[in-house]
Structure formats: C-alpha cells, structure tokens
Amino acid sequence: MERPLDVTSCEREPIRTPGAIQPHGVLLAVEPDQLVVRQAAGEPGWMGAAAAGLPLGRHLEEWSAPLAALVRQFQASGAPGGFQGSLSGAGCPIDVMVHRGRGGVLLIELEPGDPDRAGAAECLAAVEEATGAFERAHDNEELLRQAAVLFRRITGFDRVMVYRFLEDSSGQVVAEDRAEELHSFLDHRFPASDIPSQARDLYVRNTVRVIPDVAYRPLPLEQAPGEPDEGPLDMSDCVLRSVSPIHLQYLENMGVAASASISIVAGDVLWGLIACHHMTPRRLPYEVGAMCRVLARVLSRQIGAQADAAIHRQRIRLRAMEDELLARLAREDGFEEGLERHGAAFTQLASADGMAICRGGRIDIHGVCPAPHQVQAVRDWLLAEEMVQPFATESLPERFPKASEFVATGAGLLSIVVNRPDGMVILWFRGEQLQVVKWGGNPHQAKTVDAASGQLTPRASFELWQETVRGRARSWSRAEIETAGRLCARLVELRQGKQLSILNAQLRSMVQDKEKLLAEQVNLLVQKDLLLREVNHRVQNSLQLVSSFLSLQMRGSQEPHVLAQLEEARRRLHAVALVHRRLYQTDQVQSVEMGRYLDELRHDLVSSFGPEWAEQLQVRSDTISIPTDQAVSLGLIVTELVVNSAKYAYQGQAGPITVQLRELAGRAIVLTVADRGVGEAAPTGTGFGLRMVQALCAQWQGSIDQQDNRPGRRVVITVQAAA
C-alpha cells in the first residue's frame, strides 16, 4: 500500500549535508592554519601506497606533501575555489579541487583523472566548434537542437536532453539527442516536484553535477579522534557530495545507470538543464566537465540573444503597424467614430480574435468576442479592481470566475483604460486554445510514501501520460503588452488633441464672426464709434466664453503636457481680451495707451503665475498710443516672452523679469524683455510660440535681436508704430 506524499518532506531533506560522498573519490575537511585533517571520507587506495588510509587527525604534509603544496598555493592566491591541478597517482592522474567551507574549513576533493585526457588544444577546438554552431543557429529551436547534439558528442552519454523550466516550475524537454534504441522524451513535461526548489538552488551554485554510478554505496564522513562535533558538514560546493536516495531511485526507475547535469543559468536564474543519461556506469572527466561548463554559459548567452532578437523583430513590426494606424485615426474627424471604423485594424494589431470598445453604456464589437453583456461585466470588473495598465492574462477565468461562461471566445484578455471617468476601455479577446500536454509519467503521482517503511519513493513509470488543458488562450507576448501600454498613452493624447481642435475651431469661428460684424459696421460712419464699442463688447464676452471652455477642459484633463498647452492658450487669449476690455471702457476705440495696457497685462500674468511674482515681474513704458491691432500683437509677444523666461530661465520658480517699452525718434518702438536666470530665456526651436512671435514681428516689419544679459537673456524687438 502507498499513501500520498507530504511534498514538504522533499524540501526538508538534508541534501546539502548528507554526511557521505560518492565512492569514486576522496573528501578531506582540513583546518586551514596547520592543515590538520578533521573529517574525511573515501577509499584512497587508488591513489597509491603513499596515500594508503585516510589521514584523520594528521597534518596534510605527512600524508601527501605535493597535495599540501597545492593547498598552500591555493590559500595564497585568494581564489574562491575550484580545480587546482593534478598529482601523480597509481596509474592515473589525481585531480585536486579545493573550496572554502563554512567556518573557514578547507574542503579538498580528490578524483581519479583520465589517463588519456584530451590536451588543451583539443579541448579548445571542441569548444570553438560548438560555439560556432551555436552562433550559426538561425532560431531558438535550431540552437537547442544543436546543443543536444554537441553536448552528447562531448560527453559520450547515451541520451542528452535540453530541459527547460516553465513558469510553474515544471520542466519540459525542448531538445534531445539519443541512441537509436532508447525511447524519446522530447516535448515531455515533468512536474516541479521532480526537482525540488532546494535542488534547483544547488544547480545554480554547482553548474556541473555528475553521478558516475547510480547504484553506488555511499561512503560516510569520519571524524578525527578528539575533534569536537560542530554539526553536519555543509557540502554544497562538493562535487563528490552524495545524492538523495530518492533521486537515485528515480534514475533507476528510468533505467539510468549514470547521469550528469549541466546548468543553464541566465543571470542568477536557472533557465534549464543539459540532462545527460547513460545506461551503464560512466564517469565525466574534469576537462570534459569544464568544457560543458563553458559551453553552457555560451549557450545561455545565445538563448538570451535569440530571445532578444525575436522580440526586437516583433517590436519593430508592431510599432510600424501602430504608427500607421494612429496616423489614419488622426485624420478622422471624430475620435470615437474613428476608433469604430478602424476596429478591425486594432484587432489585428494585438493578434486578437476580437476587440470591444466600451464607452459609457455603449459597446462596439469587432471580430469574435463574448456577448455584449459579458463584455460589459468584464469592463466593470476591470474598473472596479483598478488593474495595473495594461492588464493581460491568458487565463481570464482564473482571475474573473464569471469568464468561465464565455471561455470559448474570451479565455485570454488584454485591456487598456483610455478614460476612467467616461468608462472608456478597449478590450482584446482570445478564445480558448485546447492544449494537449505530454507528461513523462502521471504528474499527480510524482512521489509516494511506502506505508510499510515510511520512505519516500519516486514514481516507477515514465510512460507517456497526456493531459488536456482547458480554459487557456495563447499567451500575450511581451511586445504585444508593451504595444498596448504605448497605444493607451497615444490614444489619450490623440483624444485630448481632438477635443482641443474642436475648441480651436470654435475660437476661429468666433473670430470670423467678429471680423464679419466689424466689416458690416464700417459703412455706418455716423455710428462707427458706438458700433465698434458694441462689437468689442461682444468679442469680450466671446473671449471670456472661450476662456471658460479652456478652464473647464483643464479641470477635466490629467495629462501634464495637455494642461501646459491649455494654459498657454488661455494666457494668449487673456492678452487679446485685455485690449478689448480697454477699448470697451474708454471712448477711444481706435488706439490703445500702452503704458496702462502693459500694467494690466502684468497684473494678469502675476495672477496666473502666483503672488511670488508680484515683486519679480516689472514693467516700464513710455506714454505711447498705438493702433488696436498692433497693441494686440505686442501684447501677445510680451506674454509669450515672459512665459518663456519663467519656464526656461527659472524653471517655473519666481525670478526677476523686466519688460520695457520705449519710443524712439521716427516712431520706432523698442520692446525689451530681459531676465537674470540661467539657460535660454529666448524662444528656441520650432514650437508654436516661436512661430507666433516671428509672425507677429514680420507682420509689422519688425526685427528680433537676442542678447546675452550676463547672466540671463535679453530679447529686443523693434517695430515701427502704425499710423
């Protein structure tokens, strides 16, 4: 009888401190100062008569002076540990590895080397050949297939598998090379319990692990007489460390007599293993293991490069599709209507089966999607849960149980929230994709506990066991998720731009109405002044209305760059409105006195910037009366230059800005805007503000001169006063 396994017992197994070694070598735990052997394990007869017996309690020099010299050399080098060289043995070289253990103890491992070992040139040639094959692989599948072939050629094992860990810690054989008489494990999965997490940690730490004979008899560690018991010896870095009996039984059940595992580590994460099986006992000489270790690192980097190249190609393709689609959407008159017209293209962009656009209570569906009321439920759940944007899952029922009702059309979901207050959400759906998973044996019976002995026993069968996985769709790639996130930001910007365009159209319409009214009143000479004042009064109200529209739009937007654009539009509007307010309040409607006008303009700018600017923004002006349209131009120029100085000279903080207007001989007007800040206070680049200042100056045949104010910047604009 067997009973279910408590899987936590696998995690508690002392695989780091087994207290024994594999019998093909010798392990010495040595005190670092006097090199006295405190613990030892192994049968050193193969080393020769001089090393007969374990040197427990003895100085290492007494047992082997050449070995002691290698250890002293290692201590002097400060190296972390590893292969230190070879000594002469009885018929074969003795490979020496030294590591620093816990508490400073030196762990010395001795293994018989290959008497016919390959030379350095031969090893380098093999590594060079394998590296070249990896680099020539045109895709990841070809790369892993080449890896299986080359590692089998180097190790000589009967079967070599490239084993990749999946997101749920289970593993899958993604490439294989084997002897013809062996059955294949290609594409088979193995449950996470086959390799517990503490074993995976050791695979990261020790990248080459060899079991020359699965049926070996462990040799226990022996303590030197009189040495205090300091607890189990940590053998995490030891290649001779004895293996878990469960793992040995697991290999025997597979019919394996010898195994080797080479770790594929990406960064600090265990990507997978090169798993080598042999049907008879087989050793892996040090130089072969070293080649495998180097090639595993090359393979890891090449796997990363292949993955990066694939996602880079997908990113370029998706970015091109995205740019083209948004360009077409920008040419549409209405934002929401444009989205609906291009729904099929948006569906194709995400490689989805269907797409739904939700706004308010309206739902527009394109392609194959769940029913409208089901889409509405998904939208409401996303808004209520405030999911991180963009949200993506290939198994929606696991997150939203109601999705199990429409899994055929909505097992996978990718979503973005374009406008939360309006409930505007875009949803991409993928239908269920049934997946048949091949397991190497029943994954639900990975290990059991024998009722009689209480010992853990691994499963005995590795026959193909197939499982159909339901409720899942194709996974969304990293590039597709990134595209959705970028698309969300660009759609928000485009939507706000469309709304701003509507306001600008209204403003243009109002300005056109004003010009029409003015043209109609010109012929009424007798009532000219009265009618002009009436028109200006109406324009003042219209401009105030537009200003209110802009303020409402600012309160409704959360985008910093949109708020900045609306604020600049509002300031320009105030400069125009101020002229008209002055005209309406005086009897003279054909000209404006610039001294009073600039004082009021300064007051408006201080109100906009904040009270800290009251002492910093100074205006000085001669008594100059100029025509209304020229006053509007100068007011817009002053507004633009002052805002530019505040933004770039002082990065938005309060600082001295001086505005001066003088009239020279010959009716020349000189406007100067100067600051004492850092950076460029003068308009630069090709923005709207710069183009407006240049156009207004050109309208009055003026010139712009930018000067160094030492410190800061001075902008001098000279125009002729209009008649």
What are 471-486's pLDDT values in tens digits? 888 899 999 999 999 9
Is residue 195 located within the same domain as residue 300? yes
State whether 428 and 283 are in the same domain.
no
Residues 162 and 126 in one domain: yes
Q: How many other CB atoms sit within 10 Å of the CB of residue 208?
A: 20
* 3-class state of residue 714 by DSSP: strand
**pLDDT tens digits, 74-92:** 999 888 888 888 888 777 8
Question: Is the pLDDT assigned to residue 162 strictly greater than 70?
Answer: yes
Domain CATH for 232 = 3.30.450.40
Q: What is the pLDDT of residues 237-251, one digit of tens each?
A: 999 999 999 889 889
For 333, which DSSP code? S
User: Could you give the CA distance from residue 255 to residue 250 in angstroms, rounded to a whole number?
Assistant: 9
Inside any domain, residue 639? yes
Q: What are phi and psi of 433, to 5 degrees?
A: -125, 105
| Residue 397 structural domain | 332-434+470-476
| Residue 710's pLDDT band (cuts 50, 70, 90) | confident
49 and 139 assigned to the same domain:
no
59 and 175: one domain?
no
Residues 192 and 127 grouped into a single domain: yes
Q: What is the pLDDT of residue 513?
A: 80
| Total domains present in the chain | 4
**Same domain assignment for residues 102 and 134:** no
H or E element: which one contains 385? helix 372-385
pLDDT at 444: 61
Indicate which CATH number applies to the domain containing 380. Answer: 3.30.450.270
Same domain, 64 and 42: yes
Same domain, 301 and 170: yes
Do 123 and 234 fall within a single domain?
yes
Q: Convert the pLDDT of each residue in 174-195 to its tens digit.
A: 999 999 999 899 988 888 888 8
The Cα 145–Cα 427 span in angstroms is 38
Instruction: Report the 10 Å Cβ neighbour count for 25.
Output: 24
User: What's the rounded mean pLDDT across residues 428-432?
Assistant: 92
Using CA atoms, how far apart are residues 395 and 469, in angstroms rounded to an integer? 11
- pTM beyond 0.85, yes or no: no
Sheet holding 447-450, edge to edge: 2-4, 447-450, 456-458
198 shares its domain with 305: yes
Could you tell me if 156 and 283 are in contact, meaning their C-beta atoms sit under 8 angstroms apart? no
